[in-house]
Every structure is written in C-alpha cells, then in structure tokens.
Structure 1
Amino acid sequence: MKAPARNRIIAMIPARYEASRFPGKLMKDLNGKPVILRTYDAAVNTGLFDEVYVVTDSDKIFDTVQNDGGQVIKSHKEHECGSDRIAEAVENMDVDIVLNVQGDEPFIDKNSLAKLLDVFEQDGAEEIDLASLKTPLMESEDITNPNNVKVITDHNDFALYFSRFPIPYPRDTTARVTYYKHIGIYAFRKSALMDFYKLPMLPLEAAEKIECIRYLEYGKKIKMVETSVKSIGIDTPEDLEKARKLFN
C-alpha cells in the first residue's frame, strides 16, 4: 500500500512597512538586526518548512531581506491584511499547507509550531481549514487590553469567535473561566487561504479589525492549539523595549 504523500509546507511572513500603530516597526533594530530579519531567521531555524519567504509591499523591507540572503516576494497589489498578501504570493505555488508568521513576532517557538502543523496529520484533519495558537491570559490588564485578541472555543478547540473585548463577558464573576490570547500565527490549507482571498470582508471582521473572523463568517473551521509559550508581538515602542530585554 502506497504511503500518503507528505504535505508540502512553507512559511510566509507578511511584512507591511506602514503599520498603523507603530510605523516602520519591522525595520526597527532588535539587538543588531531589524525585527523582520529576526523573525525570518527564527522561522528558518525551526527546520519545519520546505521554504520560508517574506512577502512585502515595501522596497526597503524587500531590499533588506534580499541583501541578507533571505527569500522575499514583492506584492503587486494593495492588501487590507496579511492573509490577502500571502494568498497573492502563493496562488501559483505547489504547496499544501501555508504557515503565516507575523513579521512582528520574532520569538518563534519551534515546539508550538510543530504542534500546530501536527493537527493536519491527525485523525479528523480533513475538517480543519486552518489552525492557530492560543495562550492563557492571567493578568486583568492583559485581558482588557484591546491589542490582545481574545478567542473562545468549543469543547473540541474549534474557534467560536475572536474579539478585542474580553470574551466571555464575566457577568457571573464566580464562574471559572480561562481567558485566552490569540497568537497571530496561522497554518492554512492552501484551498482555504485562496477562498479567503476571493471573499469580501463582512461586518464582524470590519468592526473588530481581526482578519481570521472572515473565516468564521464564511463557515470555515479553525482549530486552536494551546501553548504556554509567551510570545511578544511588537505593536508599540514599549513592546520593542520588552523584546530587546527578552532577546538579551
């Protein structure tokens, strides 16, 4: 009996220069290298991917990655979100699973990514359109911080909803609820990613400005994988200072 073909897996790092909250953050120095190169190197060093690419709208980021010996693709169209940017880049690629690594998440944990990719090899994997990571939030200031996207799931760890608001709302303060932060790393089936690319944004995604809500609004199944690793996303200058200390 012929063994099933191994999934071809690539990592894509969408890199937009003009981030609204912290413009140019991907080119800020993180202990001797720009943030985007730290993220790229971390993705390559996991050894989990057949290829790793940065995909960007910026000549500055393109040149920086290319001059450092990295693989980089220039977007030809304007995009509202990272998934659209990645979809344009992979449309004509021979690939099964595409892992989206946020360009401002340089502290990639190999074990977490391995767990994320493993869901596509398990029983029942055929019902999974994409998978993503979540981690518990313990401090009230983290739970209420709108920069931390929260996620709630069903009993099989499929996402029910994402929000910048604390969900669930604690009407009963005695209920034992764990709040989870969504870590913006996704593993997509290419087919689900291309569907996303062709479908228009709907009101919930537009209101929250959380792109993965589009998948839920169109009935896609998102498997959430829990990790205890505390990632630092660089959304503000203060986050960058935390990242520099952590890097040391």
Structure 2
Amino acid sequence: MSTLVLIPARMASTRLPGKPLADIAGRPMIVHVAARASESGLGRVVVATDTDIVAETVRAHGFEAVMTRADHESGSDRIFEALTRLDPKGEVDTVVNVQGDLPTIDPELIRAAFRPLAEAAVDIATLGVEIVREEEKTNPNVVKIVGSALSVQHLKALYFTRATAPWGEGPLYHHIGLYAYRRAALERFVRLGPSPLEKRERLEQLRALEAGMRIDAEIVSSVPLGVDTPEDLERARELLSK
C-alpha cells in the first residue's frame, strides 16, 4: 500500500502558544516529530499547517510541509485537505495521522498503529495501552477503549469513553490518539459530520463507530509524551537532551 504520514500542526494552542516551534534540544518540536515519523519508514512524511512560519521552519530542516486552511474544526479535517492537495489523483491508499506534539514518540509506535490495517475489514487503526495507575482509571481525561480482544495485542473497538469502562474485573485500556486510515474511510469520516455520541463524549472517533465503521487498536507498552503544558515541554527537553 502507498502510505502518506501527515502531521497536523497549529500555532493556536491555548495552553502552550506557539508550541510547534518550541525549542527542544536545539530543534523545534515539530521537526522532532517529523524526524521520528520519517524513521518509522512507512512512507512520505508531510507537516500540514495553517501558519507560514511553521511551514518555512519545517522546510528549512529538510522536511516537507503543505499549507491548509485555518478554519478546520479538527485534525482529521486538516489531514484530509492536505491529502487532497498532495495526492489529487488518489494514488495514496492509507494515511497515518501523527499528532504534532509528540516529540519523543518511538517510531515503532507509529508502525504499530498501522498494523491492524493488515486485516481488510478494518477501516481505521489506532493504539491503546493497558492502564496501570489507579487514578487514571477514573480520570475523564484518560480516554478508554472498550473492545473485544482478537489477540493479546489487538482489540476490535466497540466504544470509546471518558468513563471507567468496562465494569468488572479485567484490564482497562487507555486510547492513544494516533490513527491510520484507509483513504476511503478518511474521506467518508470527514463527510459524515459530528455524531450525537461524539458530541456528548467529545470524542471524534465515535463518529466512525456510530456510522458502522470498524476501528481496531494495537496494544502497546507505553504512552508517548504529549506536550500540552509548559511542564510537559520541560519534560520533553529533559528526555531529548540526554
């Protein structure tokens, strides 16, 4: 399959303004993400942004960038616009969406998100990790995957929720928001518009499930550090300065 790895990047973060260009060990954060996505070896890597300085910075460091509109409501809308600009003839089969605030992500995690697409029935693939900290089991900011185990490392997702679920004895899984889409699935997804459960839980992936699309999750061993706050940024600097 022909694969395009897209990294959405916006400057308008409320908690950490300008974070794509935040310096980490001598390079902007978005450049670290692009480098790690490139190391995954899945395919062409492009940063999708609505800000000229982000695109210029990415290109100055030897990576590719594409400009998108500034009024997108979600990252999936932005990557679909980027896909249509970069591949108007429809030659790309799959799209991997890597968040632009994961400067320490292991390239193997990016490859892992792609694996469930080996099964033809899967429309969208993503990642999960078993929750081990008790406080995260009841934290609404830790999104849980409720799914059927197809193997030790593979779940068929039935639901995503901010609640503590499923009830009873057994593992709970934290959803990691890194996605691989079949092209047709991404196109269908962005044209559907927000669904009732998506709006209620504030979880975009529920739109796909409500529409009867299949999402499978590869279970991995760790959660990548997402940089959302100044404290997260300092942690990333500490990790990448070693």
Structure 2 letter corresponding to 1:229 = S
Q: Percent identity?
A: 39
Aligned residue for 1:80, secondary structure, equals coil
Task: Tell me the residue number matched to 2:61.
Answer: 68
Aligned residue for 1:241, secondary structure, equals helix
Task: Tell me the residue number matched to 1:159.
Answer: 157
Regions of 4+ moved over 4 Å: none
- 5 Å-filtered alignment, 1:207-218, equals 207-218=200-211
- Over 3 Å counting, the alpha-carbon distance change for 1:153 and 1:191 in structure 2 is same
Instruction: Normalising by structure 2, report the TM-score.
Output: 0.89
Aligned residue for 1:106, secondary structure, equals coil
Equivalents in 2 of 1:198, 1:227: separation in Å? Answer: 30
Task: Tell me the residue number matched to 2:237.
Answer: 244
Give unmatched runs, 5+ long, in structure 1: 1-6
User: Retained in 2: the 8 A contact 1:84–1:196?
Assistant: no
Task: Tell me the residue number matched to 1:98.
Answer: 95
1:86 paired to 2:79: yes
User: Retained in 2: the 8 A contact 1:56–1:72?
Assistant: yes
- Over 3 Å counting, the alpha-carbon distance change for 1:207 and 1:29 in structure 2 is farther
RMSD (CA atoms): 1.8
User: Retained in 2: the 8 A contact 1:58–1:74?
Assistant: yes
Match of 2:173 among 169, 175, 180: 180
Give unmatched runs, 5+ long, in structure 2: none
User: Retained in 1: the 8 A contact 2:146–2:159?
Assistant: yes
Match of 1:45 among 31, 39, 42: 39
1:230 paired to 2:230: no
- Over 3 Å counting, the alpha-carbon distance change for 1:206 and 1:23 in structure 2 is farther
Match of 1:141 among 131, 135, 139: 135
Equivalents in 1 of 2:165, 2:17: separation in Å? Answer: 29
Equivalents in 2 of 1:181, 1:148: separation in Å? Answer: 6
Equivalents in 1 of 2:12, 2:163: separation in Å? Answer: 25
Moved more, 29-38 or 130-139: 29-38
